[in-house]
Each structure stands twice: as structure tokens, then as C-alpha cells.
Amino acid sequence: MNAAILGVSGYSGSALYKLLKEHPKVDKVNLYSRKPRRSLAEAVTAFKNQPEYLQEYDPQAIMAENDVLFLATPAGVSSQLASVFMEAKFPVIDLSGDLRLKKAASYEKWYQKPAAATKLLAQATYGLAEFEPVGTYIANPGCYATATLLALAPLVKEDLLQLDSIIVDAKSGLAGAGKKLTETSHYAYINENAQAYKVNCHQHIPEIVQELQTWNDKLEAIQFTTTLIPITRGIMVSAYAKVKPGFAQADLEAVFTKYYHDKKWVRFSGSDLPAIRDVIQSNYCDIGLSYNPVTNTVLVVSVIDNLLKGASGQAVQNFNKLFGFEETLGLPAIPAWP
């Protein structure tokens, strides 16, 4: 089968291209751009030996020449492109945030861009691969959202937490900020440094809350803070919450085992808390927890590679589910070490 990518020049798009080129069920990867025709080597210098060219964006040609489209476009783009593919019921996996939120007003508040039409938002399926069914148009979750939701899902689904006590401290490497250079992403600034950013206004907050509320409608909000740290890729989420009375470490571990024992891309390690290095260059999410009975507080640590499990890897995981392939097919299972 043939797969199309719009937006290969970004970090997530580039990682997606690499995965699809090595996927045993993908015969050809076709690349498209809204800019004039150019070679892949011009768009991504790391791919200088690859022969592909970026073809001019044409939705009819994309649907005629491919079996699925991956959108790895910046915020505000896919909302303008989605309708033609939805009307044709053509499979799309959208790595942007444009169709993750069900309320247009929420998108406009958090992204400060015009939202997609309400009927399009309603048709998109939020694609948290471990918990949600796939649809024809899949809104791939954000990287912070993936790590946070997988950390909290068992506890929120089982209603084991005091829901007004959830605090998430999330740390990310520089690749999560994308290729565009900013003052805080200069080496001289971020090296040997850490920077809290978008406090209380990160665009992944509403999708996290939206998904948590589908699991437990008593939840109203969470406290969520993001910090940029001087590594290239990877996310560590430290989620804290007060536990309802009557539970111990073993009980909480049993709940996580119940939900994740058969999930091929989630590795639960009990009280052994994971490190970012454990998952880099893989599609795994590693999770561990520690319960403090003195403060009645549980700490759940969740780590992912933000460009794989947090973006392109989960997109391929959803692709596998959509077309009935083995969920691990074409995805890296051996982390980089050292």
C-alpha cells in the first residue's frame, strides 16, 4: 500500500517518514508540500541520499495515489484541509492538534487560531492508541498528553483519586519545540539550564482534561506545568495525586497491571521508576509508581520518546490498528543505549 505525508520537513514528519520507509506493509511513501516542488534532501538535509521529491499538495491526487494520508502540519493547517478527506471518507492520521478538541471555542482559546468546523470536530476520533477505537479521521494525541494520560488512566478510570488534587509536572527535551529557533531554544540558553514555560496555558491541557473527563465525568481540572530541559528528545511526566482511603502500594500496582498487562507498548515496572533513557528511539511508554502512606500521595512517573510514542510512533501504531496489522509492526522496540 502507499502512504502519503504532508509536512515531512518537521521533526515529527521526518521521524514518520523514516518509520514508514521501513514498514513492511508500506510499498511507497509519497511526499506532498504546499510549497513549490523541491527534493526531500532540500527539505531535510539528513535525508540527502533519499530520491523522493515533495509533490504539490493536491487532495484529489493524494486520494487517487495513496491509501492513507498522514498530516504532520503546524497548528492551523489541517483544520483547513480536513473537510475534503472527511467527505470522501479517506483515511487520515493527523499529528497536529487541530481536531483533537471537540469544542471550537476551546481550540480557539488554547491555540489562538480559528477552529475547524464543529461537524468536522465531531467526526474526528481522538487516537490514544491504548484506549480509544480508531476512526477514519484520527486525531493523534499530543506528546505531553500521551505521557500524562497513560500515567493517570488506571487511577482515574477506577476512581481511586481525589480528583481535585492532580498535579502534573512534565519535562521535555528540545525536539518537542520543533525546528523553529527561539530565544529559549538556543544552545547557550538551555544548556545547563531548565525553563518552565506555558504555565497554565499549554495547548495540551484541554485535550488531557477532555479525555480524563470521558473516563470520569467528576473531574473538573488538573494542575499542569511544563519544563524545557537540556536534552534533545524525551518526556518525563511526574503526576501526583491524593489517593482515596483504603489503598496501599500493592493495590495501586494491581490496578496498573490490570490495565497494561496486555498493552504491547506500555511497560509497567511497579515501584521501579523509569528514566527517559529507557525509552529513547523506541515506541514504549514506561510507567512506575510510588505511594507515600504518610501524605496519602501517589507519584506516577511516565516516560516516552516525544517524537515516537508522543507523535510519529503512535501515528504508525494507529495506522496498524486502522488497517488490521499487528500493532507492533514497523515500530522500534529496542531503545537506544547508551
Residues tagged active-site = 143
Question: Which parts of 245-296 are beta strand (E)?
Answer: 266-268, 285-292
Exposed e or buried b per residue across 276-300, where buried means at least 16 C-beta atoms within 10 angstroms of its C-beta: bebbbbbbbbbbbbebeeeeebbbb
What is the rounded distance in angstroms from the CA atom of residue 78 to the CA atom of residue 59? 12
Encoded amino acid at 299, one letter: L
What is the rounded distance in angstroms from the CA atom of residue 279 to the CA atom of residue 222? 26
What is the rounded distance in angstroms from the CA atom of residue 95 to the CA atom of residue 112? 18
The gap from C-alpha 58 to its chain's centroid, in whole angstroms, comes to: 27
What is the rounded distance in angstroms from the CA atom of residue 143 to the CA atom of residue 208? 11
Closest listed residue to residue 147, CA positions, set 236, 231, 225, 227? 236
